[in-house]
Amino acid sequence: MIFDAHTHIGRCDPFHYSNLEEKNTTFTAANLIEEMDRNNVSRAVVMPNYRLPHRLEKANIELSSSIKPYRDRLVAFAWLDPRIEGSGDQLEKLVRIHKFKGLKLHPVLGGYYPTNRTVHTLVEIAVRLGIPVMVHTGWGALGRPSHVGELAEYFPEAKLIIAHMIDPECLDVAHRSENIYLETSYAQHPRMIARAAAKIGPTRILYGSDHPLGGGMNFEISKITLADIGDDEKTLILGENISRLIK
């Protein structure tokens, strides 16, 4: 079973390294399911596309409604900005009422450091709710994997996912903290997957595509299948690890 740990649906506001808002302003749950079927992907974690901070609450609710016909295949993560008043209450509601299974933070687009005290409040709530926290990394100082490492040390009970294996620093950060998982999108080569498996073991690596951004599901899956690792390790990375993490 292939379980994609990182996808998006919904409208997208403009941001500095994407033209997604021009290509497809309403990428839908049905569109995502079609792409999954083309690539033999059984399930996927899904979160809103980028929205300005004051629009995130509505975007999460819209996502919850749009994936209802596909609840057996799509698992929702909430995208929240910790600086928005009431974001903690929003997370509680999304998990308890709308059955969201994780939290997504994007400090680069949000313009905040992951180590900021405002982030701590949301991480504390996530820990109490038993859900993982995915943190965007890459693309600038705010996206340094070492910031996630600091969070992992401060919250050893948290389950933290470094989104994107684009910065080689992520391997050392995950090696130091056993509560950090690596999501594979934007890894530069299958060798990066093999190095990660050798350094931290295969049980904390999660296949993700960042679809409809990134290089596409087929391309991202190929990095796993072509990596010089065993079949059992590929099975863990392609789906078993994320399945276990969100239970």
**What pairing do the DSSP bridges indicate for beta strands 102-105 and 74-79?**
parallel
Domain ranges of the chain: 3-245
Sign of CA dihedral 81, 133, 237, 2: negative
Q: Under a CB-based contact definition with an 8 Å cutoff, are residues 96 and 122 in contact?
A: no
User: What pLDDT, in 10s, does the model give residues 180-231?
Assistant: 999 999 999 999 999 999 999 999 999 999 999 888 999 999 999 999 999 9
Spell out the per-residue pLDDT of the chain, length 247, in tens.
Answer: 999 999 999 988 876 444 444 444 578 999 999 999 999 999 999 999 988 889 999 999 999 999 999 999 999 999 999 999 999 999 999 999 999 999 999 999 989 999 999 999 999 999 999 999 999 999 889 999 999 999 999 999 999 999 999 999 999 999 999 999 999 999 999 999 999 999 999 999 999 999 998 889 999 999 999 999 999 999 999 999 999 999 8
What does pTM read for this prediction? 0.95
Residue appearing with tokens 């926290």 = 133
**3-state DSSP assignment of residue 43:** strand
Q: What class is the 3-245 domain?
A: alpha beta
